[in-house]
Amino acid sequence: MRRLWPFGVVAAVELVGVATDLTVLQWLAKPLLAPLLLAYLLRVRRRVDGVAVGLVFATAGDVALLLDGRAAFLAGMAFFLGTQVAFLTAFLRHRRPPVVAVASYLSCWVAVNLVLWNALGPLRLPVLGYSLALSLMAAGAAGVSRQVALGGGLFLISDLLIGMDAAGSRLTGHGLAVMSTYIAALLLITTGWVRATGRAPGVTGGGDPARFPGPVPGNAR
């Protein structure tokens, strides 16, 4: 876990920024979350794979969602669509997900979109497409490991909260809930992926990654 301490520091700064509504802290910390995990992944795996590509897209999405307005929100959604597709591709190449996971997440996708459909207005179709990719990613994560599956589930919960906000149903503590689940999701997916796929031959030092624990409008995430 020693290699991940910078991520922990940045994550803490981001959560403080969200909790106190200090934009400067969010601008300083949020764009570094995915890159720090990407750097860790590349040091350990020594190769670019779908999870690494997904983290690049997540970085772009995080920056886009720091901006206000519908255009920034749609740009962030497009970048995170790239994240979901890249993650899903990596997961499917590793192992097929359980049928029950696919059925469960697709059922959830249908139900949530039916509930939010009228309230989403012009965002209906973008959310429909993005949430399908997100649901499939979460289902695919279930085929990798429990740790990655938990990360995929938390990613879905984080974006579900964002979708509810876009539909006019903002919960108390929305920003903190969105960011804490998102941060945990990225951490679990990255470290779980390392555990499931193994480190590159010849990598030494910094501890064994197998010991690492399994944990979107207007600044939505």
The pLDDT tens digits of the residues spanning 59-107 come to: 999 999 999 999 999 999 999 999 999 999 999 999 999 999 999 999 9
- Domain annotation covers residue 88: yes
Q: Is 107 exposed, middle or buried (0-12, 13-18, 19+ CB in 10 A)?
A: exposed
pLDDT at site 144: 97
Q: pLDDT tens-digit profile of 5-38?
A: 999 999 999 999 999 999 999 999 999 999 999 9
- Domain annotation covers residue 63: yes
The confidence band for 162, taking pLDDT boundaries of 50, 70 and 90, is very high
pLDDT at site 102: 97
Q: How far apart are CA 210 and CA 196, in angstroms?
A: 8
CA atoms within 13 A on the CB side of 77: 25
Total tally of structural domains belonging to the chain: 1
> What's this model's pTM, rounded to 2 decimal places?
0.88
Its domain, for residue 92, covers 2-211
- Domain annotation covers residue 147: yes
- Domain annotation covers residue 218: no
pLDDT at site 11: 98
- Domain annotation covers residue 91: yes
Fill in the DSSP letter of residue 210.
G
Give me the sign of the Cα torsion angle 197, 12, 185, 72: negative
pLDDT at site 2: 66
pLDDT at site 214: 37
Chain centre distance of CA 179: 10
- Domain annotation covers residue 220: no
- Domain annotation covers residue 171: yes
Interval 188-215 mean pLDDT: 63
- Domain annotation covers residue 162: yes
